[in-house]
Structures are given as structure tokens and as C-alpha cells.
Amino acid sequence: MEKSHKRLDVWLKSFELTKSIYEVTKKFPSEEKYGLISQMRRAVVSIPSNIAEGAAKQTNKDAIQFFVVARGSLSELDTQIELSRSLDMMNNADYQLLTEQINSFDSLLSGFIRYRRSRNQ
């Protein structure tokens, strides 16, 4: 039986972002294994994980809490991408790809949260 979160566009897009971060961070200097690589991977894994956990909650209020945490992790990841680029650990093409994915996903997630909040009223 397929879990319901796997049918959500917001989860699918976050899963794609997660794979992109893993691919890009493979190119980082090895001394960043326990630094930015680890931080970025933990932040990005948190996004689909929190969406999945939120989708499994019994109440809409509880679910929204997890979706908001996912958005916080997205902001954390955005900061780490900016830092990686400013430290020349990321090339322009990867930076552009990730920035576009984050901006697109942020709009999707924000809309999803607004929709779920509107169902509470």
C-alpha cells in the first residue's frame, strides 16, 4: 500500500530537491564532509521527512506544524547554498539549478500551507 504523502506534489518536488542536493554536494571538497555537506544534507532530508510526517497526522493543525518545519529547513538550506556559492564550493550552473528549485518549491510549499490552513476555518 502506497503512503498518501507519496502522491503529494509537494513531497515529490521536495524529494527531487533532496536528490539534487546530494548530487551537487558530491562535488564539494572532502574536508567539508562534516561541515556544509552534512548540514545541507540534513536540512534537505528534513524537508520531505517533515512533509511525510505531517501528511500522516490526524489533525490538520498538527499537520501544518510539520509543513512549517519543512519550510524552515528550506530556508536553512537556502542559506547554506548561498554560503557554499560565496565560498566557491559550488559552480554557477549548480547554484542556478538549486536556486530555481528552491524558489519553485518554496512557492509550492507556501501555497500548500495556505491551502491546509484554509481548511481549518
- The pLDDT tens digits of the residues spanning 41-64 come to 999 999 999 999 999 998 999 999
Residue range 89-114: mean pLDDT, rounded: 97
Q: So what's the pLDDT on residue 56?
A: 93
Q: Which helix (H) or strand (E) holds 57?
A: none
Q: In angstroms, rounded to a whole number, what is the distance separating the alpha carbons of residues 37 and 51?
A: 22
Q: In angstroms, rounded to a whole number, what is the distance separating the alpha carbons of residues 115 and 119?
A: 7
Judged against a pLDDT cut of 80, whether residue 120 lies above it is answered with no
93, 23 Cβ separation under 8 angstroms: no
- Most distant CA pair in the chain, distance: 50
Q: What is the rounded average pLDDT for all residues in the chain? A: 95
- The closest of 121, 109, 101 to 54, measured between CA atoms, is 109
Give percent of the chain with pLDDT exceeding 90: 89
Place of cell 574536508: 31
Q: In angstroms, rounded to a whole number, what is the distance separating the alpha carbons of residues 72 and 59?
A: 21
Can you name the CATH fold of 4-118?
A: de novo design (two linked rop proteins) (1.20.1440)
* Sequence ranges of the domains in the chain: 4-118
Judged against a pLDDT cut of 90, whether residue 121 lies above it is answered with no
